[in-house]
Amino acid sequence: MLTARMSGRHSLALNENPYGPLPSVRHSLEQALASANRYPEYLPHRLARAIAARIGCSPEQIVVGAGATGVIMHILQAFVAPGRARVVMAEPIFDGYPVLTATVRGHSVMVALAADGSQDLDAMRAAVDARTGVVVLCDPHNPTGTRLRAGELTGFLDRIDTRVAVILDEAYIEFVAPDQRIDTETLLAAYPNVIVVRTFSKAFGLAGLRVGYAVADPQAAARIARWQVPFGMNILAEVGVRACYAAEDELNERIDAITSERDRVSVALRRLGYVLPDSSANHLFVPLHDPALAHRVSQAFCRAGIHVRKYSTGVRITVGDRAANQAVLTSLAEVRAAAHRLSGSVSTR
């Protein structure tokens, strides 16, 4: 897999940030390397305090882990219990969820997305029963980039047994304008069974450093933290996070660049005739239900050295730098033109 990614010219399969670390972040990380002979903190309390101070909650509410993936693993370890081993989630979703659910010997209950690409909360609620330990919701969703609708989340939570832990995965929330985000503190105060998960891998561009965190009610946080691995975070994690926080303005410029590219590419794809859900994340989902069309898209991307994530219903394309996005548009325009020549019209619905 690594070889395939390295040989490709445009790596758009993992929703990574196209930009390398900012010079100031890189400088801090290089300095920190001089202490690589030293252990990190036994458990990452300093990092938890830094994150808590930044987002305005108490440090007891934060659990840091090796990426959001590491944190999700600990949540599942804490809440997938005998008799409550079912984990309800949309399909498709971030691959980590079914994989980690199997790791903790849980059972994934997959609920199809609604036709518009959003999570079908009514169907998900109907899938919850006495055997459910955890429900996973993504906002924005991976792979479709859709948001949970206002009021829909609280309506859902009002009707869920409070013994069920509800993960609200906000891996891509920094790509959403601040005034459009769900207020975490208000949500957790009303629903202590909600566990918000975030990462430094996406908007912050630190995927290789593996830093993520959960924000939860202090009791739930303590239950999750029992699974933390001693000395489990590397020494660059805290340094990288602090350096990113210090460079917030520059990071925000990059986030703006990514979201405006995302919007530019979606407008262009729609002009070409592709039908896609509105994405609020750093990726676009292009539904391709016609196998012949999906094959042509796959071949065109292959020729152009573009790596994307394929699903049985379409492709997820990470928003990359301008050159990568142009390459995507060129490939999909070629496919469209060829499809017109072949049949006059090919629906992407």
Q: List interacting residues with ligand PMP (CB under 6 A).
A: 15, 67-69, 94, 96, 138, 142, 169, 171, 199, 201, 207, 212
Would you say 70 or 296 has its CB closer to ligand PMP? 70
The tokens describing 20, both together, are 């390398």
Contact indicator for 20, 33 with CB cutoff of 8 Å = no
Task: State the nearest-atom distance from the C-beta of 95 to ligand PMP, in Å.
Answer: 8
Q: Which residue stretches of 159-288 are H helix?
A: 184-190, 218-225, 235-246, 248-272
174, 178, 180, 186 alpha-carbon torsion, rounded to 10°: 100
Handedness of CA 39, 41, 42, 48 (dihedral sign): negative
Q: Which residues contact 68 (CB under 8 A, 6 or more apart)?
A: 96, 169, 171, 197, 198, 199, 201, 212, 213
Query: By C-alpha distance, which of 277, 267, 283, 287 is closest to 348?
Result: 287
Q: With respect to ligand PMP, which residue has the nearer C-beta, 93 or 293?
A: 93
Burial annotation 176-213 (CB, 10 A radius, 16+ → b, else e): beeeeebebeebbeebebbbbbbbbbbbbbbbebbbbb
Closest CB to ligand PMP among residues 109, 293? 109
Identity of the residue, 187 or 335, whose beta carbon is nearer to ligand PMP in the bound complex = 187
Report the residue number, 15 or 228, with the smaller CB distance to ligand PMP: 15
DSSP state of 226: T
N- to C-terminal Cα separation, the chain? 30
Report the nearest approach of ligand PMP to the CB of residue 68 (Å): 3
CB nearer to ligand PMP: pick between 29 and 207: 207
What's the min distance (Å) between Cβ of 197 and ligand PMP? 7
Least distance between ligand PMP and beta carbon 65 (Å): 8
Spatial neighbors of 194 by CB under 8 A, at least 6 apart, are: 157, 166, 168, 187, 188, 216
Whose Cβ is closer to ligand PMP: residue 98's or residue 293's? 98
Pick the closer one to ligand PMP by CB: 203 or 300.
Answer: 203
Q: Which residue is nearest to ligand PMP (CB)?
A: 67
Task: Report, in Å, the least distance between residue 165 CB and ligand PMP.
Answer: 16
Q: How far is the CB of 171 from ligand PMP (least distance, A)?
A: 4
| Cα within 13 Å of Cα(16), Cβ side | 19
Shortest approach of ligand PMP to residue 21 CB, angstroms? 15
Spatial CA neighbour of 335 closest among 295, 275, 285, 305: 295
Beta strands 212-216 and 194-199 are antiparallel
Q: How far is the CB of 160 from ligand PMP (least distance, A)?
A: 20
Q: Return d(Cα 348, Cα 136) in angstroms, integer.
A: 29
Residue 33 CB, nearest approach to ligand PMP (Å): 21
Residue number with CB closer to ligand PMP (74 or 336): 74
How far apart, in Å, are the Cα atoms of 88 and each of 62, 67, 126, 144, 196?
Answer: 24, 22, 10, 18, 16
